[in-house]
Amino acid sequence: MCPKYEAAAELLGKKWTGLIIRVLLGGPKRFKEIKEQIPEMSDKMLTDRMKELETMNVVKRTVYPEMPVRIEYELTSKGQGLEPVILSIQDWGEEWM
């Protein structure tokens, strides 16, 4: 099997990853906003997934030096490239699930 396909399938196959990307397709979000849209996910799991996605350059984390500090997460161009994939999965799910 193609290693690039395998890596992409592994990325999207991790629990919660697809949902996080789906939420961030709507634009930059704070941790709390992501958590509100995926309430079943624990804070630790969200933190872990965000770090993984940031390491893979799918998500960008921006810290705004305000009081209190504001942190936002948004998709990079690499992450935005997943939009047609995520939307196709959604379309398939609506038709078949």
**Tens-place pLDDT, residues 51-90:** 999 999 999 999 999 888 999 999 999 999 999 999 999 9
Residue 94 binned pLDDT confidence (cut-offs 50, 70, 90): very high
Determine phi and psi for 74, rounding to 5 degrees: -145, 160
> Which residues, 6 or more positions from 28, have their beta carbon under 8 angstroms from its beta carbon?
62, 72, 73, 74
Q: In a 3-state reduction of DSSP, which class is residue 70?
A: strand
pLDDT single digits (tens) 19-51: 999 999 999 999 999 999 999 999 999 999 999
pLDDT score at 2: 87
Domains and CATH numbers, the chain: 3-96 (1.10.10.10)
**Can you give the pTM of this predicted structure?**
0.91
> Which residues, 6 or more positions from 30, have their beta carbon under 8 angstroms from its beta carbon?
70, 71, 72, 73
Q: Most distant CA pair in the chain: distance in Å? A: 50
